């Protein structure tokens, strides 16, 4: 009988502790993959903002004009420029290769 009472008492104490811990719980910091993805997205947005700054300064840029200042590869630069075109922030001039340039959308 004593063992049964101690078991029920332990369960009740445990439930109270869990309740108060859940009630006072703070928002947890992201860990692992979620944290990494959030960091990548913020870096991406910062780079795209920098591309728009370069466009405001120069008026017209090419893929090569943003690779060096941002420290990114040719394909990454092309992807960022494509996304900005899709978002309607910039316009593409030219068809392909070294003849393609970009300017702010009017």
**How does pLDDT run across 47-98, given as a tens digit for each residue?**
999 999 999 998 899 998 899 889 999 999 999 999 999 999 999 998 887 7
For residues 81 and 96, is the Cβ–Cβ distance under 8 A?
no
Over range 32-36, report the average pLDDT.
79
Residue count (the chain): 106
Domains, the chain: 27-104 (1.10.10.10)
Of 68, 58, 72, 69, the residue nearest 102 (C-alpha) = 58
CA dihedral (26, 29, 30, 31) positive or negative: negative
Answer yes or no: are the C-beta atoms of 51 and 80 closer than 8 Å: yes
pTM: 0.66
């Amino acid at each position: 009988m004593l063992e049964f009472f101690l078991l029920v008492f332990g369960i009740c104490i445990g439930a109270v502790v869990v309740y108060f811990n859940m009630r006072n719980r703070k928002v947890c910091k992201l860990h692992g993959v979620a944290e990494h993805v959030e960091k990548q997205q913020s870096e991406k947005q910062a780079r795209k903002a920098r591309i728009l700054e370069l466009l405001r300064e120069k008026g017209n840029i090419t893929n090569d004009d943003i690779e060096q200042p941002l420290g990114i590869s040719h394909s990454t630069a092309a992807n960022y420029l494509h996304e900005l075109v899709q978002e309607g922030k910039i316009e593409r001039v030219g068809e392909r290769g070294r003849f393609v340039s970009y300017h702010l959308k009017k």
